[in-house]
Structure 1
Amino acid sequence: MEAATPCPIVDRVRLIAAGRPEDPAVVGGGERITYRDLLRQTDRWQGRCAALGLATGTPVAVLTGGEPATAAAFLGARAAGLVPLLVDEQQAAARVTAVLEAARPSAVLRPATGEAEPTGEPDPRVLPASAGYLVFSSGSQGTPKGIVGRAAGLLAFIDWEIAALGLAPGTRVAMLTSPSFDVVYRDLLLPLCSGGELHVAPRSTRVTPAAVLPWLAESGIEVLHAVPSLSARWLAAAPPTTLDALRHTVFAGEPLYGRHVRQWRAVAPKSKVGNLYGPSETTLAKFHYEVPDDCGSGLQPVGHPLPGTVLGLEPVDPAGAPGVQRVVITTPDGSLGYLSGACGPDDRARLSCGDEGTAFRTQDRGMLDGAGRLVIVGRLDSLVKRRGVFVDIAAIEAAAADLPAVRSACCVHLPATGDVVLVVEVPDPAVAPALRRPLHAVLGAGMPDRVIGLAAMPLLPGGKADRRGLRELLDLKGADDDREAS
């Protein structure tokens, strides 16, 4: 079997552990794992993986509920030269099955039990030596796509974030993200590559919005990564709580509005707020904006490119608002591309990977503001044709998000009927029809056909709104309504 190429992430954690062996590395589940113990656990996982006799570059699935032992299983697999795919065993069984069938891992690692078992995969994949992890996109817009990431790309982002936030050893970082999505690596690796403490939230906390803010306060969390709509749900459900220890809140994954920032700062008065942007194809994030204290209530910029990243803007048809173009990202720290058989030809044509780096023609529409900062105004497919006229569903969401009663908003186009339907998460769903008047004042002819209120927006495990699930729900409801009318 070919010798494993040293992993820069494992090397970094070993270096940290050599200087701080007795400091806490991972906290959770009633455990306080020191850096010395983390290395011992990593070595045991490396030995289990080596005993499987798999070729270097072989994918392995790490089936986890997000328990503290996940960190050592990931590091051990990397130390053995394997390519881990974190899979959240708590998510829908259909997604787990689809991801495993697409990835074709040769083994399954179970952090909760310490087991490492071969799958008997008859056609095992072997990925390039520079491959460091596998991830699948959220699937919020369609079928999840498999992406081959580089360990060096992960570490490049983590090093930037350590410097940007000014982190010191001992900093407490929360892990609240589902392990199935690449953004979990911001939670997982930021503390372990800087001598900090990774605080793993119990599953019972992660799935109970009212419990999240009290857990953050009790744990003394100093750095938090969050999705805006999910954090809005935490704010709405939590008892009165003040996060005095929180120094940095970094939002990503969805549009961020100033109104939500002000609400967040009311419970975290000492926290700086950042806004990140970047598709999984370009590794974690490639743009950053520090939101000022005097931000307006509306859509916030995603800021300027990270060092080495180049922004391109391409004309699109229809253009929509003046100055809005397709966002193109070129970076030396991007992915190695899509997993063969795990994306469509259109996706593959938009992603170019080579020795010079990664170039990705995203599906996002953006523009530069007066200060030269990138603002993401929607996706290309958020311009939909309704009865022969284009309607911008991203603009509808932005108008709804600015209304005081709305916690989050998701607008979808139903091809079967042509209707544009706005779904809002509000404390009382019965107030949804009353939102039409203030929306019309902003949108005019761009109004949605219907406004539906929900007490809780359906979310994907990563915290994003589940657009596909909403479309299916609304299509089903429409069919039921038609049957009742007949």
Structure 2
Amino acid sequence: MFQAAFSYQSEPSAGIDLGPGVAAERVARPANGARFDLEIQSFATEAGLSGWFEYDAALFDGPSVARLARAFESLVWGLVADPSRPIDRQPLMSASERDRVIALAGGPRVAWPAAGLIPELLDAAAAARPDEPALRDGERLLDHAGLAALRHRLARLLGERGLGRGSVVAVALERSLELVVSLQAVMAAGAAYLPVDLDAPAERLRDVLADADLLISTADVAHRLGDGESLAACPEWLWDRDGAEIDGFDSAAPDVEILPDDLAYVIYTSGSTGRPKGVANTHRGLRNRLLWMQDAYPIGPGDRIAQKTPYTFDVSVWEFFWPTLAGASLVMLPPGDHRDPAAVARLVRDAAITTMHFVPSMLRLHLAQGEAAQATALRRVICSGEALPRELVQQFHAVFPGERVALENLYGPTEAAIDVTAWPCRAGEDGPVPIGRPIANTSVHVLDAHREPVPLGVVGELYLGGDNVAAGYVGRPDLTAERFVPDPFEPGGRLYRTGDLGRLVDDGGPVAVVEYLGRADRQVKLRGLRVELGEIEAVLVTHPTVAGAVVSARTFGTGDVRLVGYVQPAPGAEVDGAELGSHLRRYVPDYMVPGIWMSVAGFPLSANGKCDESKLPQPDVTPTQRTVVAPRDDLERLITGVWAETLGIEQVGVDDAFFDLGGHSLLLIQVRERLGELLGRELSMVELFQHPTPAALAAHLRGTSTNSAATAGRGRADQRLRARSGQRRADLRRTQHRQEG
């Protein structure tokens, strides 16, 4: 019924009188097994409070329990110091431990030796390697000197039109040479570029373009966007109509002063209210991000980087600027080919790509291509955009054995200059894939609802600080103030509140490892208990048969809320709900295990690439892979009918166990009440637990509970009770350990 216990009592030996000169002393004896997952036994003595922690070694290790003991001690001292303070504001860490957690949340402080912001760094690379290849778009090639000349001419044209610092220039182009030149030129002019989604609905496009001072496009694309009418309230500059104008401008870099906090680019993301919001990122953040990347994954002449990410997603920013900054070459994927795994695999092989990016779902499709393993020049794949399953990491290293190709897992929202954490994915590792350590000059704090640091290993919301934090949302001061808050750990700094859940793990390094656990806004209440759906998903994807998972809380006809596990099986695997339930129970409480499982080929995605849960198939509440034995008399028919009505399913067999059909304790109460009405007698919850099938319950009610059906029912009940209280400890030896206090 419960798996955590706290006991408080007086020291038993204090009241034992053994005569003059003889004293009784309590001696802690090792036991053969822990009674609960976690138990605190405490004793009041004349000297104060003493006791120990008793725990299941299959669920906790010594350092974890030691941290719990320190947290408990901090809590007790806080209660004594200020008993009027609300319990959720009491400290769980000492001052020194709190300082240590804050220190572990910060990435290394680095003063980059390279001078200037991104436009100057691009020019320095062009001056150093003018003749090296810089850009390939089909048959069109540019060296670094040629690319610099084009961006300078267009930047000067923009400056002549009054566009510079504080201006926003929208760009609506297919993937092409002109797209790269346009983005780099806007930044060289001191303005911020705003990429336009060519597939967005007209109303959304109008909202986006309302913030622009100029639209760079082509006649064809502009016509297509507005269905023949211009959607822009600003002037248009079209490459196929006006492109010749740049020939009259000097190819030297424009003399433009750009400051670190000036805007570099604006990317729109969907908003919870349905209104898109424009995230404004600064030169400071972009410079830090790109220089960190060049330091962590150095590239140069001879490297070829694939440009395949749609430019409305912030991953594309490093694809457009990092290769040029480093003197490498950018290879453009033809428009639309990013959706074709075979075309991507051919480009990687034939163009001798050395570094490229995939979101995990696309990486899975890429690895399934025969050409993937033929990419002999490939040295590094960078993953970000969604959670990376461990099974996919293993598949990657099977395709690229010997770690000849590195796999890096990066994390970062649009509101923080592309990425803020990084993790190298090695072969042979197990468990959930971390999102990594904070990169240079950034911090990733895990805070509670009061924006206080939580102890190591404890789940909280991720707050991002440091150079990469965006300026805010364009024209949305209210939303900016809500999501970008003062940094209490860095005077004058700001934190971005991500809405993501995670925890810090101390692995002995100078910077903590961050584990991502899903979204805070997918928190649900289930029978009064708080459930983070992302936590369940994070455990599910560690199972070798699971390629992807989404857990959803669904309301059924009876008004009850149940968890549904949507699972995309790994290649060659099948969804086994019983096996996945057993796997989950090793890590989460029983109430967090879905009662219904659905196998899906893939997940419907929203415009921003996230799973659209509203489009997932309706769950089938009828359990599969079972033989339904029909009721044999009126009593069994009555019981199965009540179960079917309560559970919202069509058919219940006499040998079906209530909890195996997706039932839970609150529904069992409804069954008890309904059966009591129909039978004219009260049933206890103990009776229902002990006789979990209609056949067993009917036999019990007939007064024949000693027969085989009832005996089998009790056996299943005992098994169910053991499962509910400790199934996640199956096959693991229970050992008692004590943390003396």
Whether these two folds match at TM > 0.5 is yes
Q: Distance in 1 between matches of 2:369 and 2:426?
A: 26
| Uncovered stretches (5+) of structure 2, i.e. residues with no partner | 1-114, 223-229, 236-257, 585-589, 622-649, 651-741
Match of residue 448 from structure 1: 594
Amino acid at match of 1:120: A
Would you say 1:93 and 2:192 are equivalent positions? no
Q: Alpha-carbon deviation of 1:108?
A: 0.9
Q: Alpha-carbon deviation of 1:450?
A: 3.9
Q: Distance in 1 between matches of 2:620 and 2:215?
A: 39
Would you say 1:329 and 2:464 are equivalent positions? yes
Would you say 1:120 and 2:254 are equivalent positions? no
Q: Alpha-carbon deviation of 1:191?
A: 0.5
Q: Alpha-carbon deviation of 1:352?
A: 6.7
Pairing of 1:39-438 with structure 2 (within 5 A)? 39-54=148-163, 56-89=165-198, 91-93=199-201, 96-97=204-205, 100=208, 104-110=211-217, 119-121=232-234, 130-137=262-269, 144-236=276-368, 241-269=373-401, 270-296=404-430, 298-316=431-449, 323-341=458-476, 344=479, 347-348=482-483, 350=485, 356-371=492-507, 372-414=512-554, 418-426=561-569, 434-438=575-579
Summarize the Cα distance change of 1:407–1:342 in structure 2 as closer, same or farther, 3 Å threshold. farther
Q: Distance in 2 between matches of 1:355 and 1:59?
A: 30
Summarize the Cα distance change of 1:118–1:79 in structure 2 as closer, same or farther, 3 Å threshold. farther
Q: Distance in 2 between matches of 1:461 and 1:246?
A: 30
Q: Distance in 2 between matches of 1:286 and 1:142?
A: 27
CA contact (8 A) 1:172 1:197 kept: yes
Amino acid at match of 2:213: S
Match of residue 35 from structure 2: none
CA contact (8 A) 1:333 1:357 kept: no
Q: Distance in 2 between matches of 1:343 and 1:419?
A: 36
- Comparing 130-139 with 188-197, greater Cα deviation is found at 130-139
Q: Report how many aligned residue pairs link the two structures.
A: 461
- TM-score relative to the length of structure 2: 0.56
Q: Distance in 1 between matches of 2:273 and 2:542?
A: 23
Amino acid at match of 1:147: V
Summarize the Cα distance change of 1:105–1:451 in structure 2 as closer, same or farther, 3 Å threshold. farther
Q: Alpha-carbon deviation of 1:175?
A: 1.5
Q: Distance in 2 between matches of 1:144 and 1:134?
A: 12
SS state at 2:162 partner:
coil
CA contact (8 A) 2:215 2:234 kept: no
SS state at 1:313 partner:
strand
Amino acid at match of 1:196: A
Match of residue 481 from structure 1: none
SS state at 1:438 partner:
helix
Summarize the Cα distance change of 1:178–1:363 in structure 2 as closer, same or farther, 3 Å threshold. same
Summarize the Cα distance change of 1:277–1:240 in structure 2 as closer, same or farther, 3 Å threshold. closer
Would you say 1:458 and 2:604 are equivalent positions? yes
Amino acid at match of 2:461: R
More strand as a share of residues: 1
- TM-score relative to the length of structure 1: 0.82
Summarize the Cα distance change of 1:234–1:420 in structure 2 as closer, same or farther, 3 Å threshold. farther
Structure label with greater radius of gyration: 2
Q: Distance in 1 between matches of 2:407 and 2:372?
A: 21
Summarize the Cα distance change of 1:476–1:167 in structure 2 as closer, same or farther, 3 Å threshold. same
Q: Distance in 2 between matches of 1:150 and 1:415?
A: 44
Match of residue 672 from structure 2: none
CA contact (8 A) 2:349 2:372 kept: no
Summarize the Cα distance change of 1:357–1:226 in structure 2 as closer, same or farther, 3 Å threshold. farther
Q: Alpha-carbon deviation of 1:34?
A: 1.3
Identity of aligned residues (%): 25
Q: Alpha-carbon deviation of 1:259?
A: 1.9
Q: Distance in 2 between matches of 1:307 and 1:83?
A: 24
